[in-house]
Amino acid sequence: MGFREVGLSESEYKRIIEILGREPNGLELELIGVMWSEHCSYKSTRPLLKTYPSKGKYVLQGQGENAGVVDMGEGWGFAFKVESHNHPSAVAPFQGAATGVGGIIRDIIAMGARPSVSMDGLFFGDPDSIKTQNLAKGIVEGIGAYGNAVGVPIVGGKTFYSPSYNGNPLVNAFSAGFVRLDKMASSQTAKAGDLAVLLGSKTGRDGIAGASFASRELDEDSRASKPQIQIGDPFEEKLLIECCLDLLEQKLIASMQDMGAAGILSSSSEIAHKSGCGIDIQVKQIPLREKDMLPWEIFLSESQERMLLIVEKEKLDPVFAMAKHYDLDCAVVGTITDNHRYKVYNGDVLEADIPVSILGDTPEVFWPSEVPSDMPQRQNIKLSTLTTNDPANDLLALIGCANGRSKHEIWDQYDSMVQLHTIAGNGEPVAAVEVPDTHRACLLTMEAEPCKCWTDPYTGACETMALSLRGLWLSGADTLGMTNCLNFASPEVPEKFYELQQSIRGLADTCRELDCPVVSGNVSLYNETASGRIYPTPLVVTAGLAVNRDDILFAGRTQKDDLIYLVGKIEGSMGASRYQSMKDGVPLGKTVEPDYKAEKDFRELARKTAHSHLASSGRVVAGGGIAVTLASEAIASNIGMDITLAPESTVESLLFSEGGTRAVYSVPQDKAAEFEKLWSGFPCRKIGKAGGDMYKWNNILEVRLAQLKKTFLGEAK
């Protein structure tokens, strides 16, 4: 097998020969090729990812571990991360999505945390396409089947439809869990003499070379790719969770690593490299599910429900006893050494002998970047095409469209209450879960703005990040940190690399300015098929801390006779808004430029509002603009509203513009004066009152609440 067959370039192969001082043998070439793949090495993005801010007052463990960990107080840490499983889900929707959930859960276990939260970011093609419907059905069923069976609640997420995802759906799986700070695990604490122990399922041929599969464009005939898809078993995963946590509780593990992409190879080489050691692996000691597997197949298999444990020799017997108790396969497969070599033995035969560093210190690629030639066309918005002749009808269209209506048909398949710590779950703008044995809560937002990132990657990414933070601040939370999943097309095309580069710059700048460290993440490139590419889709999940869960301000709690307030500017931008995309058929125009002073002022005042209990309800202005935001609040609160706000420029911009630091509050009348005093100096205006069964707006529109609800739930005829 040549170097090109394992995904290496000629220059990379020459570099390998320089490092080794010889040509690699067949197995060594396979091992290096996978670890140097885009999916494992992040060679196209590592220089960009270094620009993220990584330090923060709550950060305990940042980038470089299986998941980030932040300090929740009272001895608790919160481990969290989001990862993609895009290519597998396009080829085998059910198993691709299910194993994506399983894989990210194991990253949380690897930090010593009990997986307690799941969320999913789903991006589907044309909702009217039969292919999209079939893909979506399989993906959602896979997520629900695995998450429900393994006993981890799915408390929120994001679902977005666009023809740009036709044939290339995105499945971004988020998981998180709580860990006692004195029980945290690491992948960097192995030492010479320790034993490498494989715990969990036997190794088979499923998922072989899955990392390489994810590092190229999808084949037109995706059926040829099905052998690379892993098969998941959530019941085995549940046993694995409990066994690992018990081993940690009894302090029987020196280090631990999930077997994800590149399986045994990546987990063993990463532990050795991060710990400054070497490792000897014995192929014949690896429990196999299939006969006649070759060494390269064994090392590159991505069979699910496996963990690599590093165990001190004197603790081996109780580890095996624990594995037997949980009816899990357990085998010593290697030994940590002090020679910084990665050696593979097949009986007495030394099959591979390479420096651990060649697998860990992978090359970086600096692709050329070029502004897309059609960027002026993407940003050329014609306001004349956006005139509304029937604002009420356009409002209903936005609420009832695929991206606007309720996603209850999806989340009804998920168990959001298992473990009994969910405070706010699916359907809420902000998810909230209890911190165990405390009165604290962790709040989570998941956001993505593909249309805005398509028309301007930088401002689109800035708005995505700021939007995720506004939701936490409005709820009263302090920012803990962010994890992100970067879903993009091929970095090898200068115009596509520009989108990736500028999106990361936007996220990094906004996180830096607004004090949000990036603690973990994932990159998924080559998201395109022969028929097209996806929109730039950076997805972010941001975590926040509420020290007192009684101080959380939720949406959907507006009461009769509450006064409605808008804080922030009246109008945002029509650029790449849901309304503009609906009218023109494609996203056009830029969203708002970032205003970090306004964001910081909002952060302070919004948190004070929540802690002072000055509002019944609050909601950040998001997709669809103020009109849709208020309609969503009316629907969730089951109460009408009479809005009197007049336009500054046009009716369309008043109702449907998006972006910028804006939110709506419902305030009891006896707290209105105090609310207005708190917000003095920041744009704040009373715009209406809650009550009745109509949603009315100053002679502009009038819709019955019942009609809004039917449209939102997809029941309108």
Q: Which residues are catalytic?
A: 39, 85
Question: CB–CB of 349/25 below 8 Å?
Answer: no
Task: Taking each helix axis as running N to C, give the angle between helix 234-249 and helix 93-109, from 0 to 180 degrees, rounded to the nearest 10.
Answer: 0
Return the closest-CA partner of residue 391 out of 651, 582, 632, 157. Answer: 651
Cα 591 from chain centre? 22
Half-sphere exposure of 642 (CA within 13 A, CB side): 8
Tell me the two tokens of residue 572. Answer: 């945002």
Q: Which residues pair with 278 in a beta bridge?
A: 337
The beta strands (E) that lie in 125-263 are given as: 154-161, 170-180, 195-200, 255-258
- Give, for 498, the enclosing helix (H) or strand (E): helix 494-513
Return the closest-CA partner of residue 511 out of 448, 450, 468, 572. Answer: 468
Q: Which residues pair with 271 in a beta bridge?
A: none
Q: Is 699 helix (H, G, I), strand (E, B) or coil?
A: coil
Task: Taking each helix axis as running N to C, give the angle between helix 596-611 and helix 457-475, from 0 to 180 degrees, rounded to the nearest 10.
Answer: 20
CA distances from 435 to 104, 410, 441, 477, 526 (A): 20, 26, 5, 14, 38
The residue type found at 59 is V
Q: Which residues are CB-contacts of 61 (< 8 A; sequence separation ≥ 6)?
A: 67, 68, 69, 79, 111, 184, 186, 519
Cα 328 from chain centre? 30
Cα separation, 70 vs 59, whole angstroms: 5
